[in-house]
Amino acid sequence: MRRLQALVRENARNPNAIAYAAMAIGALAFPGIVQFASGGNADNLVSLAADGGVFVLLAIGLNVVVGFAGLLDLGYAAFFAIGAYTYGMLASQQLISSPLHHALHIPFWIALFIGLFIAAGAGALLGAPTLRLRGDYLAIVTLGFGEIVPRFFRNMKDWTSGVNGISALDAPSLPVWITGPWVNTDFGWVTNFKFQSFNSTAWYVLIVVLVAASVIGVNNLYRSRLGRAWMAVREDETAAAAMGVNTVNTKLLAFAIGASFSGFAGAFYGAKLSLVSPDNFTFIVSITVLSMVVLGGMGNIPGAMVGGLLLYFVLYYFLPAAPQQAQTLAQSLGLDWLNNAAPNGWPGIGEFISRLKFILFGLILVSIMLLRPQGLLPSRLRTQELRRGVHDEPVEQVS
């Protein structure tokens, strides 16, 4: 108990610790709260939150590449695609129609790690030709990679069904699972549990576990010898090399480890959707994830997570629901006429808002960046960088 008190006292002013605590509590309480509030009809919300977790994973991974190692990657969706397609090919009937003539059906839990290693390998492969590039030049090459990979999957018709994508992916299964009021039964065990699309709570739990494991892993890396080497390379590559940091390996590891998280995310995403299609991995996905990282606070893990959650909420919940909400609002304010299309060209408030969606999205992005250029939850570094005028900071005592 005393240790807990000490822990709380020590971290009460640390925004990162607060963010972690808030996210952990929020993640645990979320399904209960929404189910309770909606009288048990919030499965779609829980499922949406599970998809949001995928983007949080992606943001964590991209943060390693962009935030820690300072390598601007505009093609991150490529690794997401590689993870998803790996799972798609390994865990469906797909390969029967391929030159292999044999379906694989590798269990999800193993395929998850195969996806991870293949994405990591692809990361290193992309990293290799870009080692001499920095900044803008690197960004362009990664952009190209991000365009090539989905096209590659689309054109490999024999293996991936081309534009149709791979469907009917195997669902993960577990020997035992807990049931309870959230699926309208009493508490109890089920054996031979299968993650089906209606088991949104199960998917949610799975992604929370994946995210938690990733956060622990990436936090450990950040505070390790490798994390310091990443930052040293970001700050000054020449000096880092002179201090004995193997910059080639360090950068390749950044690409590989960053990519491995999207391998994770891709496998989960494919399994949950039970479909992998080349349209799911367009350039806009790369940009969205990059915006999440920048918006949340580059180089800071909880920052990237918060950015991921927020942007996901805006893009996939707030904006799609906005027209409907506006209509309801107009109605309750007694402004019914707003809802109806008028001959003067007024399309009705719902349609109006729906047409403004991307302007709204842009406005939200711009206002956040104007109000908090360092990101919502910046690393100490970014705060400093943007406060160039300040010459010194209080010296913290080293214990």
Residues that bind another protein (CB under 8 A): 217, 220-221, 223-229, 231-232, 235-236, 238-247, 253, 381, 384-385, 391-393, 395-398
**Residue 246 or 331 having the CB closest to another protein:** 246
Backbone angles phi, psi at 133, to 5 degrees: -100, 150
Beta strands in the chain (DSSP E): 166-167, 173-179, 188-194, 275-276
**Residue 136 or 396 having the CB closest to another protein:** 396
DSSP letter for 276, please: E
**Residue 85 or 264 having the CB closest to another protein:** 264
Dist CA 347 CA 338 (whole Å): 9
According to DSSP, the residues that pair with 193 across neighbouring strands are 174
**Residue 324 or 384 having the CB closest to another protein:** 384
CB of 225 to another protein, least distance (A): 5
Tokens of 236: 């000054």
CB of 263 to another protein, least distance (A): 15
- Tell me the CB-side half-sphere exposure of residue 77, using CA atoms within 13 A: 25
Give the number of other CB atoms < 10 A from CB of residue 28.
12
CB of 234 to another protein, least distance (A): 8
**Residue 147 or 385 having the CB closest to another protein:** 385
> Is the torsion defined by CA of 132, 73, 379, 383 positive or negative?
positive
CB of 14 to another protein, least distance (A): 14
- CB-based contacts of 215, cutoff 8 Å, min separation 6: 20, 60, 301, 305
According to DSSP, the residues that pair with 147 across neighbouring strands are none
Q: Are 219 and 304 in contact (CB under 8 A)?
A: no
Q: Are 330 and 339 in contact (CB under 8 A)?
A: yes
Helix (H, G, I), strand (E, B) or coil at 178: strand
**Residue 155 or 246 having the CB closest to another protein:** 246
According to DSSP, the residues that pair with 128 across neighbouring strands are none
Dist CA 140 CA 15 (whole Å): 34
CB of 7 to another protein, least distance (A): 18
Q: How far is CA 239 from CA 128, 131, 150, 236, in A?
A: 21, 16, 37, 5
**Residue 336 or 393 having the CB closest to another protein:** 393
CB of 223 to another protein, least distance (A): 8
CB of 43 to another protein, least distance (A): 35
**Residue 58 or 64 having the CB closest to another protein:** 64
CB of 310 to another protein, least distance (A): 25
Element (H, E) at 174: strand 173-179
Dist CA 191 CA 233 (whole Å): 50
**Residue 279 or 393 having the CB closest to another protein:** 393
CB of 281 to another protein, least distance (A): 27
